[in-house]
Amino acid sequence: MIISGGENVYSVEVEQVLNSHPKILEAATIGFPDERWGEAVGAVLVLKEGKTIEEEELIAFCRERLAGYKIPRKFVYIDELPRNTSGKILKYQLRETYQNEVLQG
């Protein structure tokens, strides 16, 4: 869970919306420090092969399906999400690896 401006943002809800986008293969959300909100939502995305997407398109897609405070503020694109042997996404690894990249925008 990510707490942004005192509101609870459940990663699963945001990820379900992102995963429903036709150009996204899979998504994971992470929180990153934000001066105004305490924590903000960031998304680590794997796009379907040969697809590209503009940030504005993603934000508009999310705006139709999520409350404003749940919309990711930053996006990072990678080739594959890290997983353990059971197939679970290793979010701690995403936070360690991409939190600084998300902060730098």
Q: What is the pLDDT of residues 8-44, one digit of tens each?
A: 999 999 999 999 999 999 999 999 888 888 888 999 9
Whole-model pTM: value is 0.88
The H or E element spanning position 17 is: helix 11-19
Q: Per-residue pLDDT tens for 73-92?
A: 999 999 999 999 999 999 99
Q: How far apart are CA 46 and CA 48, in angstroms?
A: 7
The domain total for the chain is 1
CATH number at 51 reads 3.30.300.30
The pLDDT of residue 56 is: 96
pLDDT score at 102: 56
pLDDT at position 101: 61
In 3D, which of 37, 49, 47, 45 has the Cα closest to residue 8?
37
